[in-house]
Structure 1
């Protein structure tokens, strides 16, 4: 696959206390002041690129000139683990928020629709933690996979007509294909070879999926109304296991988080607004889904990890090396409509819920107080990557 360019747009801003240039921005400035852009030895450039830890900084490094781009080839192909970003469904441009930089990027490398298909500007984007987004046109249900960090696009067959009857959508991507649902029953579209249409999964015909997560060769289909998790082999689509609900009062509001062999279940009273500013999970559970007869066990903490949850997915990130991520914490995003505005605008905020203190706080960041035009989708977490596989 041909290599594509990723250039993060620069933005002038006033200098302010606490807002410092990143190490790579400083290195670039020093190098440009001391020599020409392409006069530095290739070995030195490669060493510098190998020490870059931020995906945005790798992109900036690669955008200087062709020799710098070549030197950063390995860094782009295998960057260090990245903290999640937020895909914000603002209009007319999607916005991507990098919490670590406290910076908002418009559109990134999202392909622009052709003039003849201008209605596709209204397509909805649903992020996966694995770097891809599912793009769906609500007018004709045309679907595709779009990689916002590289600009790559992979066409998918149109979704069935009944997907237009609801705003609910659950999905995730694997190297073997895409699984999707708009409630009852699940569909699969194989990737190799590409399928001509979506096919139902008979074993899950009665499954009322609220979320789908993929990890390590398996899909995890969660039914919130009964707190049941079904593990599905991503290749054969056979049911590999079913984990029934823990001892909680049903119906409950819940989210499933996938972290390798371990699953987390976050549950709260149905009377409490899910993931709002006053987040208060009543219980948290974990289970090793590969154990014999897996059963949920209540837990008090998750150690040096952070959980990221939204209406589509839940996943875990080690906090080591990420100075602005708090361990034993659940990060979520909420939205609030701004009243008396036309067109409708919305304000997004990020909340951190400590499993130790069982308290929530709203993070101080550039999102707070910023109003955005509202779209049909919900905000979702995505792990930035320059790798499409």
Structure 2
């Protein structure tokens, strides 16, 4: 007589038979899948059997770290190449349907590609081949910089800019499905379409909770824009004077808006340091409310990825082997055609060089299956 349980069978001879893994409870299958922080492991997990696939949908992908896009890959030859910091692996993806197009930016789990002949742009996920059409670019040269998308939210907004001057950008806004770009007027008295009142740093964009936060290039003010009414609701002065060699990133970080000031130092031994501020829109001074930036000395369990265009935040608990209170960033040397990747320890104020076997990088890309 055999005594059976859900996962194993004890035979009369005393041996233990192999468990039937396909018979695991659906909730347990799901919990296991959420430990798979490498997308290739997650894909392999879902193809084990029909039961596992039905218990875990493609949209159940756990948080993923960004991949670094290698400049070796391009839409022109039909291939894109990415490097995963998490696994140390390089992934090459064939995208023949996007031949003769170029990658112009990244928007969370999409790449922005552009057809230089027609000036048509779209958001493209190279893992799923999903493509979201965008309105025709308004620029003679359709170089553009999208901001990060809302991860996990239905409203996905994109900011575009003209790449002729990388220090500033006309402010155009849309979301997939729009028929044209909306030009945001940041000064109610501005009537001409020729010039925008606001010149914004390409690095100074982020979205959170129905608002866009944009860092102005000249004054370094941050303007908070309601995405429903397209109006400026707050103007927040900078916490520090404008200095050469300081790059400002705005990052939405789990309910906070962070202003990350990167003080670049091109020394090989100590390439840079950072100062971080948290936005307080309801800060009171006397009887009045004065929005301001408050400097903080740590970001606790979070770590940041800073990109040439925007930044994103992650929880260290979601990624074994990664610790909080760190900033990951890159440095490119266009003359020597080299790319370096660094990790900055906020507490110790030390920088560590990380391996990165790629050429010049243009974008981070967060892998996603939807």
Q: Normalization by structure 2: what TM-score?
A: 0.75
Q: Which residue of 2 aligns with 1:285?
A: 277
SS at match of 2:186: helix
* Change beyond 3 A, Cα 1:188–1:247: closer
Shift of 1:260: 4.0
The answer as to whether partners of 1:265 and 1:285 remain within 8 angstroms in 2 is yes
SS at match of 2:317: coil
Shift of 1:168: 6.6
SS at match of 1:160: coil
The reply to whether residue 185 of structure 1 matches residue 177 of structure 2 is no
Distance in structure 2 (CA, Å) of the matches to 1:168 and 1:180: 5
The answer as to whether partners of 1:255 and 1:314 remain within 8 angstroms in 2 is yes
The aligned length equals 322
When the two chains are superposed, the root-mean-square deviation of aligned CA atoms in Å is 3.1
Q: Which residue of 2 aligns with 1:22?
A: none
The answer as to whether partners of 1:149 and 1:385 remain within 8 angstroms in 2 is yes
Deviation string 1:5-37 (CA, Å, 9 cap, x unpaired) is xxxxxxxxxxxxxxxxxxxxxxxxxxxxx79xx
Distance in structure 2 (CA, Å) of the matches to 1:379 and 1:61: 31
Q: Which residue of 2 aligns with 1:134?
A: 112
Q: What aligned pairs does 1:1-389 form with structure 2 within 5 A after superposition? A: 41-43=22-24, 47-52=28-33, 53-54=35-36, 55-64=39-48, 66-73=50-57, 76-92=58-74, 93-107=79-93, 111-113=95-97, 118-120=99-101, 123-129=102-108, 131-164=109-142, 169-174=145-150, 175-182=155-162, 183-191=168-176, 194-203=177-186, 205-210=196-201, 211=203, 212-251=205-244, 252-269=246-263, 272-273=265-266, 278-281=270-273, 283-289=275-281, 291=283, 292-337=289-334, 339=336, 346-363=337-354, 365=355, 367=356, 370=357, 372=359, 378-387=361-370
Distance in structure 2 (CA, Å) of the matches to 1:279 and 1:219: 31
Q: Any gaps of 5 or more consecutive residues in structure 1?
A: 1-33, 340-345
Shift of 1:103: 1.3
* Change beyond 3 A, Cα 1:199–1:287: closer
The answer as to whether partners of 1:171 and 1:181 remain within 8 angstroms in 2 is no
Distance in structure 2 (CA, Å) of the matches to 1:186 and 1:119: 27
Q: Normalization by structure 1: what TM-score?
A: 0.72
Richer in strand (by share): 2
The answer as to whether partners of 2:206 and 2:212 remain within 8 angstroms in 1 is yes
Distance in structure 2 (CA, Å) of the matches to 1:90 and 1:200: 34
The answer as to whether partners of 1:144 and 1:156 remain within 8 angstroms in 2 is yes
Distance in structure 2 (CA, Å) of the matches to 1:200 and 1:207: 11
Q: Any gaps of 5 or more consecutive residues in structure 2?
A: 1-17, 163-167, 188-195, 284-288
The answer as to whether partners of 2:253 and 2:312 remain within 8 angstroms in 1 is yes
Richer in helix (by share): 1
* Change beyond 3 A, Cα 1:105–1:328: same
